[in-house]
Chain A
Amino acid sequence: MTKPEGELPWKDLEIGAIVTEPGNAAQYKTGDWRSQRTTYDFAKCIKCALCQIFCPEGCIHQNADGYFEADMFYCKGCGICARECPTGVITMVEEEE
Chain B
Amino acid sequence: MVKKVGMEVSVAIGEAVKLANADVIAAYPITPQTHIVEHLAELVADGELDAAYIPVESEHSAMSACLGSAAVGARTFTATAGQGLELMHEVLYVASAMRLPVVMAVANRALSSPLSVWGDHSDVMAVRDTGWIQLFTENGQEVVDNVFCAFRIAEDRRVLLPVMVHLDGFHLSHVIEPIVFPEQSVVDKFLPPNKYPLPLHPDKPVTMGDFAPPITYPEAKWAQEVNLRASKEIILQTWQEFGKAFGRHYSPVESYKTEDAKVLLLTMGSFSETAMTVIDKLRGEGRKVGLVRFRLWRPFPFEEFRQAVKDAETLIVVDRALSFGGPGGPVCSEVRSALYGEAKKPKVVSFVAGLGGRDITQAGFETIINKGIEISQKGSQNEFEIFGVRD
With A1-B216, A6-B213, A6-B215: A17-B223 Cβ-Cβ less than 8 Å: yes
Contact string, B191-220, partner A, CB cutoff 8 A, digits 1/0?
A: 000000110000011111111110110011
Contact string, A14-43, partner B, CB cutoff 8 A, digits 1/0?
A: 111111101000001000000000000000
Interfacial chain B residues near A22, Cβ < 8 Å: 205-207
Is B98 interfacial (CB-CB < 8 Å)?
Answer: yes
Is A66 interfacial (CB-CB < 8 Å)?
Answer: no
Shortest Cβ distance from residue A64 to the other chain B in the assembled complex, whole angstroms: 32
A40–B110 alpha-carbon span in the complex (Å): 65
With A1-B216, A1-B220: A15-B99 Cβ-Cβ less than 8 Å: yes
Q: Are A16 and B99 in contact (CB under 8 A)?
A: yes
**Chain B interface, DSSP helix/strand/loop, else mixed:** loop
Q: Are B160 and A17 in contact (CB under 8 A)?
A: no
Shortest Cβ distance from residue A92 to the other chain B in the assembled complex, whole angstroms: 25
Within 8 A of B (CB), among A25-82: 28
The residue in chain B whose Cβ has the minimal distance to the Cβ of A16 is B99
Q: Are A7 and B215 in contact (CB under 8 A)?
A: yes
A91–B250 alpha-carbon span in the complex (Å): 71
A11–B212 alpha-carbon span in the complex (Å): 16
**Chain A interface, DSSP helix/strand/loop, else mixed:** loop
Pairs A–B under 8 Å by Cβ, sample size 29 = A1-B212, A6-B213, A6-B219, A7-B215, A8-B219, A9-B219, A10-B219, A10-B220, A10-B222, A10-B223, A13-B220, A15-B99, A15-B197, A16-B160, A16-B198, A17-B98, A17-B212, A17-B220, A17-B223, A18-B98, A18-B99, A18-B198, A18-B206, A18-B208, A18-B210, A19-B207, A19-B208, A20-B198, A22-B205
Is A97 interfacial (CB-CB < 8 Å)?
Answer: no
Interfacial chain B residues near A7, Cβ < 8 Å: 215
Shortest Cβ distance from residue B149 to the other chain A in the assembled complex, whole angstroms: 21
The residue in A2, A13, A16, A28 that gathers the most chain B C-beta atoms within 10 A of its C-beta is A16
A interface list, Cβ under 8 A from B: 1-2, 5-11, 13-20, 22, 28
A6 partner, pick from B97, B100, B205, B216, beta carbons under 8 A: B216
Q: Are A5 and B219 in contact (CB under 8 A)?
A: no
The residue in chain A whose Cβ has the minimal distance to the Cβ of B94 is A16
Is B226 interfacial (CB-CB < 8 Å)?
Answer: yes
B208 partner, pick from A5, A11, A16, beta carbons under 8 A: A16
Shortest Cβ distance from residue A81 to the other chain B in the assembled complex, whole angstroms: 25
A22–B208 alpha-carbon span in the complex (Å): 11
The residue in chain B whose Cβ has the minimal distance to the Cβ of A13 is B223
A10–B223 alpha-carbon span in the complex (Å): 6
A97–B219 alpha-carbon span in the complex (Å): 27
Interfacial chain A residues near B208, Cβ < 8 Å: 16, 18-19
A82–B99 alpha-carbon span in the complex (Å): 46
Interfacial chain A residues near B210, Cβ < 8 Å: 1-2, 17-19
Interface size class of B (residues with CB under 8 A): 20 to 34
Q: Are A17 and B198 in contact (CB under 8 A)?
A: no
A16–B211 alpha-carbon span in the complex (Å): 12
Interfacial chain A residues near B215, Cβ < 8 Å: 5-7
The residue in chain A whose Cβ has the minimal distance to the Cβ of B227 is A15
Q: Are A16 and B219 in contact (CB under 8 A)?
A: no
Interfacial chain B residues near A16, Cβ < 8 Å: 97-100, 160, 198, 208-209
Q: Are A13 and B219 in contact (CB under 8 A)?
A: yes
A47–B213 alpha-carbon span in the complex (Å): 36
Interfacial chain A residues near B99, Cβ < 8 Å: 15-16, 18
A1–B220 alpha-carbon span in the complex (Å): 9
Interfacial chain A residues near B209, Cβ < 8 Å: 16
Interfacial chain A residues near B226, Cβ < 8 Å: 10
Shortest beta-carbon contacts, A-B, top 6:
A6-B215, A16-B99, A19-B207, A10-B219, A6-B216, A1-B216
With A8-B219, A10-B226: A15-B212 Cβ-Cβ less than 8 Å: no
The residue in chain B whose Cβ has the minimal distance to the Cβ of A28 is B213
A28–B99 alpha-carbon span in the complex (Å): 24
A14–B227 alpha-carbon span in the complex (Å): 12
Within 8 A of A (CB), among B134-167: 160
The residue in B207, B215, B220, B222 that gathers the most chain A C-beta atoms within 10 A of its C-beta is B207
